[in-house]
Structure 1
């Protein structure tokens, strides 16, 4: 049995109940040419906080947000966030519950004492910082350029894309970024991300600029028809693309926040994070 399999067994033994209620990063290159992000200094050893007085940790996760959370073939919730929560519980060695909620109910889940933490679904902003404290990030959503496999080689910098046609979804941060930093490119804006991808696949544009995570799911799916690939480096400017995914806890709950930081660092160091990441993102968006 692999580490993830042991983790799930250990979580169940520890009392995990799954219910359906409706700073800078560096990259780790793997032998299979897949890049997994890391936001932890491997030389830094964190001390595990004392959780002896903690009876249980109740983790809330957004429901029906694949690949982060969805109902599996066995009728049980699964996904990146679910497995990450279970792996955290194993490292903390405390009883845990992992419960899914609709996105709009998540913030009140902590404030109404339904749960102790939210994994990944709250954007870190001035407003959310007034309501919650956040762990270190475990994932970001960089923007990426996508090009056709049979297209010409392009340098994904403003000079290299001067005069080139770039597809982007209208009204997004990605459009704003291109207008600010790629003024020499010819933008073709589309109402939906799918329409922008179709334009690239059909050869109407030379490149597509969008959320890297969503692009990776498209590239790995059947609708792309293996037409395209990532090109250039990820764009991670927080002003445009957010500060990344974290664990949110109630304000002032430093012990629990530090416990999540410890567990996230541990699963990064021991390879569990890589195993979970590759299961759900085989086409890395980094």
Structure 2
């Protein structure tokens, strides 16, 4: 186990096939997993699979061509709709330290926008889900190593990451932005104006890469998590920080500590560094899971589930 920001971060263990939806309890096992991903409201009715008679009929037809009037006819079948598919096991990695998107509440349970979206996708897409809390830096390497099956943790779809993992369609969009204390004289956030200033960023993020490329002369402090980054700004250890705008919105708008600070400069939307929004990452060869996730994501956007989750966390659309 690793300690980070007061949160125990654990390596994932094997998937337990007996997991039942929406139990949402932490165990003391090696991976400190949070079981569940049930419906947003109540328990999911577990799929019983395709009826036996239907399976027999399909198998019979697939054994050979159907004879119609003495003519051999080749039958083509489309994939079964989600409602008829068996539940697919899915281990989901989340950081658990990125409010309001994913975080541990006072009862040590995962909460946040990412978690609610994941729960909705698990219900709609017929996934048997299990959350695993993971350090941000280890997420992509451990996904590739098959220690879990998906990352639903506000990961921006940058060009660099697309070379390593496959992403679903975006499930939200957010620019990056500079933030400084309200009493700061900083108004201009150009590289020339910030030369020599102390900049804070979070480790292994798009914001860190962007700052290294465009602001090489700033004195950088790299923090391990967003909460540490925000504290570093409010404490005066850095002059200004670069962060995802939606991620820090809750801290500025809804916390006492966040009243110290304000956005500086324009929104930053460089696709090369910040990608085309946040997506769900899976392994490059996991095409069936990717297709089911995209289908489920489309469904929750069309049936109003996504809008309801959006409104729970933000007074504006983040699609």
Please report the TM-score for the alignment, with normalisation by the length of structure 1. 0.58
Match of 1:261, SS state, is helix
Is the 2:102–2:112 Cα contact (8 Å) retained in structure 1?
yes
Gaps of 5+ in 2: 1-37, 48-78, 224-228
Q: Secondary structure in 2 aligned to 1:12?
A: coil
Mapping of residues 58-73 of structure 1, within 5 Å: 58-67=90-99, 68-73=101-106
Across the two proteins, how many residue pairs are aligned to each other?
235
Residue 97 of structure 2 aligns to a residue in which SS?
coil
Distance 1:214 1:70, change over 3 A: closer
Check conservation: 2:172, 2:318, Cα contact below 8 A. no
Aligned to 1:12: 44
Quick one: which of 96, 110, 133 aligns to 1:77?
A: 110
Give distance in 1, aligned partners of 2:145 and 2:192. Answer: 49
Distance 2:293 2:150 in 1: 9
Unmatched tracts of structure 1, length 5 or more: 1-5, 16-47, 181-185
Aligned to 1:168: 199
The answer to whether the Cα contact below 8 Å between 2:124 and 2:296 also exists between their aligned partners in 1 is yes
The question of 1:96 aligning with 2:128 is answered yes
Distance (whole Å) between structure 2 residues aligned to residue 237 and residue 111 of structure 1 = 30
The structural deviation recorded for 1:58 is 1.5
Which residue matches 1:222? Answer: 256
Of the structure 1 ranges 142-151 and 226-235, higher mean CA displacement relative to structure 2 is found in 142-151
Higher relative contact order (CA 8 A, sep 6+): 1
Alpha-carbon separation, structure 2, partners of 1:110 and 1:10? 33
Is the CA contact (8 Å cut-off) linking 1:117 and 1:249 kept in structure 2?
yes
Per the TM alignment, residue 280 of structure 1 is displaced from its structure 2 partner at its CA by: 4.4
Partner of 1:183: none
Cα distance change on mapping 1:285 and 1:230 into 2, 3 Å: farther
Is the Cα–Cα contact under 8 Å of residues 234 and 261 in structure 2 kept in the other structure? no
The 3-state SS of whatever aligns with 1:139 is: coil
Q: Shift in Å at residue 127 of structure 1?
A: 6.8
CA distance in 2, matches of 1:147, 1:75: 31
Would the aligned equivalents of 2:114 and 2:152 in 1 still touch at CA under 8 Å?
A: yes
* Equivalent in the alignment of 1:260: 293
What residue in structure 2 maps to residue 143 of structure 1? 176
SS at match of 2:170: coil
Q: What is the correspondence of 1:5-44 to structure 2 with a 5 Å cutoff?
A: 7-9=39-41, 12-14=44-46
Which is greater in Rg?
2
Deviation of 1:259 after TM superposition, in Å, equals 2.5
Deviations 1:245-267 (A, max 9, x none): 32223334434323222322333
SS at match of 1:246: strand
Q: Tell me, in whole angstroms, the C-alpha distance in 2 between the residues paired with 1:216 and 1:54.
A: 39
